[in-house]
Amino acid sequence: MNGNLWYEVARQRVADQQRSARQAGEAREARAAARARRARAKAPQAPVVPVIPDYAHEMFAELGDAVPTPRREAGDGRQTPAGR
């Protein structure tokens, strides 16, 4: 066999190895995606709406003070200027 033929055979083998490696990677990704889909399907779904409290004090306990009290500004009795 001459040198060109050996070169072509080696080039084809390398191409086959690369093709099979790419196909194996794609198959691995497809299996991982299928596993993720099955896991999502099995996982319990969270409720879409928030839980409605039974009593009003439970509803307002999370909010705290909804309206902040005005700040007490230091001054000598006159209105403090807004600028610095």
CA dist., res. 74 & res. 79, Å (int): 9
DSSP code for 77: S
Number of domains in the chain: 1
Place 76 in a pLDDT band, splitting at 50, 70 and 90.
low
What's this model's pTM, rounded to 2 decimal places?
0.45
The pLDDT score that the predictor gives to residue 75 is: 59
67 vs 44, residue with greater confidence: 44
Unique residue bearing structure tokens 């319990």: 44
Residue 82 domain flag: no
Range of the domain at 15: 3-63
Residue 9 domain flag: yes
